[in-house]
Structure 1
Amino acid sequence: MPRYAQLVMGPAGSGKSTYCSTLIQHAAAINRSVQVVNLDPAAEHFDYPVMADIRELIMVDDVMEDESLRFGPNGGLVFCMEYFANNFDWLEESLGHVEDDYILFDCPVVSAGQIELYTHLPVMRQLVEQLQQWEFRVCGVFLVDSQFMVETFKFISGIMAALSAMVSLEIPTVNIMTKMDLLSPKAKKEIEKYLDPDMYSMMEDNSVTIRSKKFKKLTKAICGLIDDYSMVRFLPFDRTDEEGINIVLQHIDFSIQYGEDLEFKEPKEPDEEPDNTNYDDFFQDKEED
């Protein structure tokens, strides 16, 4: 039986911990077992239990305090993840060998100075390959704060970050726009155009603000890549909307083929009917009485 994994990625403040917490509660409500593994050595606290925590192996603060290394926050994170990649046996031991596991891997943030974990360095790619060797079906889940995406150029920036991670990891990826419950009704209506965007229309709407011809040409090329190939689309995520959460989970389950290998219980054979002669004798006795 295969096991299933979500690599939960996104910039700082995108709501990765809230997403994991919400999914755990939703899974419990529908009688599904979902567990979380923390792979962010710079994380501070969680409001849910984790089955494994990379901070038990190595922490960014400890690396930064080591005078022989003298790393800053970004260098410390890279060092921690490379150390983790050399100690996958720790992760294997922590995960165990339970069949049909469904695990959320809370990954390090994707932001300036740290996106190289997903683009330049092989660490996350090695993690994906290792999980696949352990018979995990892996899906990437890239989160972006909806409040950050209400401007066209910020939206394009978020798309490029999601696209970089998707191309680097070479796994099915579901992109999610989080914190929809924090938007005003007006902002919710405005952001609908970003869920399934027409990039060329957005480009035309902002053409007046683009003064540099080179920047305009670059932006047009990026918009063409996104629009022509339909490579990035976003699903809305409102933690107060159970139906919306279920739709997001269905998209992810479909991408990793969750449930296709589950064994269905066959209906029990009906018990053999008693001999009819006994019934006949019973009713005959009643009639005689």
Structure 2
Amino acid sequence: ALARRPGPHLAPEPRRQTSQQRVPVRRLCLCARTSPHATKASHRGARHAAAMSKFGAMVMGPAGAGKSTFCAALITHLQLNRRSAFYVNLDPAAESFEHTPDLDIKELISLKDAMEEVGLGPNGGLIYCFEFLMENLDWLTEALDSLTEEYLIIIDMPGQIELYTHIPILPALMKFLSQPGSLDIRMAAVYLLEATFVVDRAKFFAGTLSAMSAMLMLEVPHINVLSKMDLVKGQVKKKELKRFLTPDTGLLDDDPLERSRRATEGLDEEDDESKRPDERGQVMKGASFRRLNRAVAGLIESFSMINYLKLDVTDEDSVAAILSHVDDCIQFHEAQDPKEPNDEDEVEDQDQDQG
């Protein structure tokens, strides 16, 4: 019932037939064709019938990265392309949505209730909500089990960084969603980092480190995205921005903020080295801070795992590019049945041939 209930995320299906009606038509079409493409399609259809996988994308990232905005843009794009989406909100503190979630964790537990009943703060309350979710996974199973392979399950996650660094809840949830024999969802992780971080390179490498942490913890196909690209237009040159798509330690060698600070204070690198940390105006400055940043950047570069895609939700082509990478990661199109020509299309083709 959940899979077919009407809602804003269900793609229009004006001429849908049941699987019992479609099989004979497809079989006749495939038998009549002897090309290699038809043979591949028949083998793919057989594999697909044997294992009906679901498909999903978990949208993650720090607070303010634009996760819910990206989910809304992705759902809108899917609707325009006659594809169905099932929107799951797993942020127990979220209040407003552009698209109403098909499944909302607040139906199970809310952050406000957890904080009031257990006496926890915001971060502790959120962890409690996810522990409660892990104890009630049947709630997820009942909602997602009936979905077909035509849906893209979009899971909107909260922004607390603890979930993506050292707490093992998220890997356990991802394993539950993707393990064969249960929900068997082919999952991809989409990690958003705000593009304005490129202005402050220390903050950029800190965000990239959290992205790599999530990548290593979840062990699923992973896409890293620089979101809100529209906010950095005019601030960062395109040639300079390309350097951030594949981060390396070279970005720290010509940090404009660091050069500006030294020029303002009339310092050079040797002056920073000679100062005691408690003599600086702020601890987050000087040679010690640069060494820390360089160590973090060197760690990221040594793994050589992080590459970013650019996202501007106001640009339809940008959203389509991210969706294309997600589809490739989860092999969405390979599992779809070959499309059958509509009767109206056939009539139009015949009229054009006669003309």
TM-score (norm 2): 0.69
Query: Which secondary structure state, in structure 2, belongs to the residue aligned with residue 34 of structure 1?
Result: strand
Is 1:249 aligned to 2:323, yes or no? yes
For 1:107, the equivalent position in structure 2 comes to 157
Query: Which secondary structure state, in structure 2, belongs to the residue aligned with residue 142 of structure 1?
Result: strand
Does the C-alpha gap of structure 1 residues 148 and 200 become closer, same or farther in structure 2, counting only changes over 3 Å?
closer
Query: Which secondary structure state, in structure 2, belongs to the residue aligned with residue 175 of structure 1?
Result: strand
Query: Which secondary structure state, in structure 2, belongs to the residue aligned with residue 61 of structure 1?
Result: helix
For 1:37, the equivalent position in structure 2 comes to 88
Query: Which secondary structure state, in structure 2, belongs to the residue aligned with residue 108 of structure 1?
Result: coil
Deviates further, 257-266 or 215-224: 215-224
CA RMSD of aligned residues (A): 2.2
For 1:147, the equivalent position in structure 2 comes to 196
Q: CA deviation at 1:217?
A: 4.2
Which of residues 112, 117, 137 is equivalent to 1:61?
112
Mapping of residues 57-96 of structure 1, within 5 Å: 57-66=108-117, 69-96=118-145
Taking the aligned partners of 1:11 and 1:188, their CA distance within structure 2 comes to 25
Aligned length: 262
Q: CA deviation at 1:201?
A: 1.7
For 1:284, the equivalent position in structure 2 comes to none
Residue deviations 1:223-261 (CA, integer Å, cap 9, x gap) = 233234421111111112222211111111111111112
Taking the aligned partners of 2:322 and 2:134, their CA distance within structure 1 comes to 30
Taking the aligned partners of 1:265 and 1:192, their CA distance within structure 2 comes to 38
Gaps of 5+ in 1: 271-289
| Contact kept? 1:110, 1:161, Cα under 8 Å | no
For 2:99, the equivalent position in structure 1 comes to 48
Query: Kindly, what percent of the aligned residue pairs are identical?
Result: 41
Q: CA deviation at 1:214?
A: 5.3
Q: Which amino acid aligns with 1:219?
A: N
Taking the aligned partners of 1:240 and 1:193, their CA distance within structure 2 comes to 23
Is 1:4 aligned to 2:55, yes or no? yes
Query: Which secondary structure state, in structure 1, belongs to the residue aligned with residue 98 of structure 2?
Result: coil
Q: CA deviation at 1:267?
A: 7.2
Which of residues 225, 229, 232 is equivalent to 1:176?
225
For 1:264, the equivalent position in structure 2 comes to 338
Q: CA deviation at 1:33?
A: 1.1
Q: CA deviation at 1:196?
A: 2.8
Which of residues 165, 173, 176 is equivalent to 1:127?
173
For 1:273, the equivalent position in structure 2 comes to none
Q: CA deviation at 1:24?
A: 0.6
Taking the aligned partners of 2:106 and 2:315, their CA distance within structure 1 comes to 32
Residue deviations 1:55-85 (CA, integer Å, cap 9, x gap) = 000011011112xx21111111111110001
For 2:349, the equivalent position in structure 1 comes to none
Residue deviations 1:33-64 (CA, integer Å, cap 9, x gap) = 12210001111111102111000000110111
Q: Which amino acid aligns with 2:241?
A: I
Q: Which amino acid aligns with 1:109?
A: G
Taking the aligned partners of 2:58 and 2:106, their CA distance within structure 1 comes to 18
Residue deviations 1:107-127 (CA, integer Å, cap 9, x gap) = 12133xxx1x23332211111
Mapping of residues 209-248 of structure 1, within 5 Å: 211=272, 215-248=289-322
| Contact kept? 1:150, 1:191, Cα under 8 Å | no
Q: CA deviation at 1:17?
A: 0.8
TM-score (norm 1): 0.83
For 2:71, the equivalent position in structure 1 comes to 20
Taking the aligned partners of 2:195 and 2:202, their CA distance within structure 1 comes to 13
Q: Which amino acid aligns with 1:232?
A: I
Deviates further, 245-254 or 74-83: 245-254
Taking the aligned partners of 1:102 and 1:232, their CA distance within structure 2 comes to 25
| Contact kept? 1:21, 1:47, Cα under 8 Å | yes
Gaps of 5+ in 2: 1-51, 263-268, 274-286, 347-355
Residue deviations 1:185-210 (CA, integer Å, cap 9, x gap) = 2335343321233x232122248677
